[in-house]
Amino acid sequence: MNLNRRKFLQNTGTLVLGSVALSGKAANFLMAKHTVGIQLYTFFNVIDADVKGTLTKVAAAGYKDIESAFSKKGGYYGMPPKDFKSLVNDLGMSWKSHHVLGAPFKMPVGTKMPTTPDGKPMVIPPMKNLKDNMQQLVDEAAEGGVKYLVCASTPFETLAELNSSIEVLNKTGEAAKKAGLQFAYHNHDREFHAVEGKIPYDMMLSETDPAMVKMELDLAWAIKAGKDPVAMFKQHPGRFPLWHVKDLDAGRENVLPVGSGTINFKPIFAAASIAGMQNFFVEHDMPKDAFASMTSSITYINKNLNV
């Protein structure tokens, strides 16, 4: 046996033994495909009082990707997009996505304003929206360097309103592409309930360009509506590059930290490649303790899900 062959076998044996010896976090690290992100709506009630402090805690918990939402301070948590990007990057994280409204905000018929942890109705500040301010919002997102611009919600109380919203989605998808962004739509559970005999989510899927308008699937809200995320992935492969990850109680009513409720996330994450998932974001709507929730969620994800 020549020297080169002997060295090759020795190195191969060392690699194999090292691989066998790996367990726990080391093995998970080698197998990991995606970093863990968080949607900053989780911190709606606290972040504006201390933006840098909140993001510092998020980074310390192990989150690597950020998806931003609206802020009581306006803009991007009171900052221009480039400044917010710099803050996130300086803390070792990446700003991947930003949420905007599809039209001027209004509560759906028959619903009440969500309450904050102190029991008071949430106050929604004035916000720009895609119907009235599309190009500005697209340009700001591009300036911030995010990859995705996401419509967080849009009105569809009537079929006419739904058609108007779909038109806005298509126009924004085109504008986003020109700006180097990927546009997507984020669901709640109401998109899966019929409006004048039509299912809004089905129309959004079929009447928008799959290349221009992707979907950010909120897994919990889809499940609350009776949908199977894996079946959705198989029906529309590659259409779901973004996910929101939260848990639900047994009654499918109350949001919980990931892993503390009733959703079985393992088969969903096993189908990530079918979905075309590129990034996922932990989200907890109006938690009593946002920092405890984010820590509990990422601890469960790192221990139990091969992401």
Q: Residue ranges per domain, the chain?
A: 37-289
Q: Please, what is the angle between helix 159-178 and helix 130-144, to 10°?
A: 30
Quick check: 212 and 239 in contact, CB under 8 A? no
Please name the helix (run of DSSP H) or strand (run of DSSP E) that holds residue 155, with its range, or none.
Answer: none
- 12-35 pLDDT per residue, tens: 444 333 443 434 444 343 345 799
H/E run at residue 265? helix 265-270
pLDDT at 15: 38
Q: Which two tokens stand for residue 297?
A: 């969620």
How do residues 181-219 score in pLDDT, each as one tens digit?
A: 999 999 999 999 999 999 999 999 999 999 999 999 999
CA-to-CA distance for 271 and 6, rounded, in angstroms? 42
What's the pTM?
A: 0.86
- Cα-atom radius of gyration of the chain, to the nearest Å? 21
pLDDT digit string (tens) for 139-178? 999 999 999 999 999 999 999 999 999 999 999 999 999 9
**Which residues on neighbouring strands pair with residue 97, listed in sequence order?**
67, 148
In tens, the pLDDT along 216-245 reads 999 999 999 999 999 999 999 999 999 999
Confidence of residue 121 (pLDDT cuts 50, 70, 90): confident
Of the options 3.40.50.300, 3.40.50.620, 3.20.20.150, 3.50.50.60, the CATH number for the domain spanning 37-289:
3.20.20.150
**Cα–Cα distance measured from residue 131 to residue 169, given in angstroms and rounded to the nearest whole number:** 9
SS3 label, residue 117 = coil
